[in-house]
Amino acid sequence: MSEGPLADLVVLDLTRALAGPHAAMMFGDMGARVIKVEPPAGDDTRSWGPPFIGDEDERESTYFLSANRNKESLVLDLKCDGDKRVLAGLVERADVLMENYRVGVLERLGFPVSRLHELNPGLIVLSITGFGHDGPEAGRAGYDQIAQGEGGLMSITGGRQPTKVGVPIADLLAGMNGAFGVLAALHERARTGHGRVVRTSLLAGMIGVHAFQGTRWTVAGEVPGLAGDHHPSIAPYGMFATATAPVQIACGSESLWRSLCDALGWDPTEPGFATNPLRVANRDALIARLEDLFTAEPAEHWLKLLADAGVPSGKVRSLDDVYSWEQTRSQGLLLSVDHPTQGTLNLPGSPVRFDDNGYSGGRSTHLAPPTLGQHNEAIREWLRS
């Protein structure tokens, strides 16, 4: 059906909202045939807005458009025996089935893992939940902001109070982790011929990205607090006010500290600032000293000075600035698709490229996110063939 490194795979996407759809879209970006199985009312996110685009009778949610490119849409009512038979036929032909129902729902619909593997012994099943498939809180519904809080991420994000990340990061990470797990299972299947179940959760995604903040507690016994706009273990590393707009600096080594001092005319061995541990201990004084200097000139002045000195620095860009930035476009991170009702749409592209081909993802052309049931007849005809 398409080109790309995963073009020989068929993925059944029974998921909704964001975590599962994102995982399935990653496969579609790499060329897999992704069949999105939707209930008659459609994926929940088709109604999430504003913003919407298009006329009322053909409107599309920009939220839905963000997670469903490179897919076909098939409407099935899984409470109907006839549609259950259609799903069974799809399972027989698929390589991967992805679902993010609450624990036990797939079984109640008549498709426990045992039956899925009876239909197709090589099937890889990805199951994403909110808090895990077992344990005392397995039955909880999974919503991103709740997972950000329960998983500790909000406790280290923000300056004055716990703050959520500006995108549904728990959902996105669960989808990415799930896609990685599926690829590992597919690699194993090439040796064994057998499928397996891959499980992940929003909670697992949150804890999986604690990184050094996690080991601050598990190893050092220190409970991290709000990180604000500055790195808790490196200084200067963060955001600083100027006369116009903030700039960010990352002095991740002593040599970069010396380069910064040379550019500013400072002594890098000054007491209190001579080593990174000292700078971290005296962070507030260092921030105040830098901002006293930086607020005398506009951001562009400091960005040029820092760039000339080889000190990593940058702007804090708004999204309109990001998508008009030539560097973004040069990386294939903005792509155009032809939507059946909305015309040409610009979408954020895949973050992965191959062989410097300039493509976003593993394919040279991309499919627009489908309208509800757009491929009903084509998929049913394929099953009959």
The residues that are catalytic are 231
DSSP alpha helix (H) spans, 71-195: 81-93, 105-108, 113-119, 144-150, 169-192
Q: How far, in Å, CA of 125 to CA of 241, rounded?
A: 49
Other Cβ atoms less than 10 A from the Cβ of 271: the count is: 8
In contact, 172 and 20? CB cutoff 8 Å: no
- What's the gap between Cα 135 and its chain centre? 26
Q: How far, in Å, CA of 146 to CA of 129, rounded?
A: 13
- Of all residues in the chain, what percent are helix, strand and coil, respectively (each to 5)? 40, 15, 45
> Which of 183, 172, 237 shows the shortest CA–CA distance to 208?
172
Token duo for residue 47: 């109604």
Amino acid at 98: M
Cβ-proximal residues to 93 (8 Å cutoff; 6+ apart), any chain: 10, 120, 383
Which residue do the tokens 């061995």 mark?
Answer: 269
Cβ-proximal residues to 366 (8 Å cutoff; 6+ apart), any chain: 29, 69, 70, 335, 337, 347, 360
Q: Residue 20: which H helix or E strand, with range?
A: helix 19-29
In contact, 198 and 192? CB cutoff 8 Å: no
DSSP state of 352: -
Cβ density class 159-197: b for 16+ within 10 Å, e for less: eeeebbeeebbbbbbbbbbbbebbbebbeebeeeeebbb
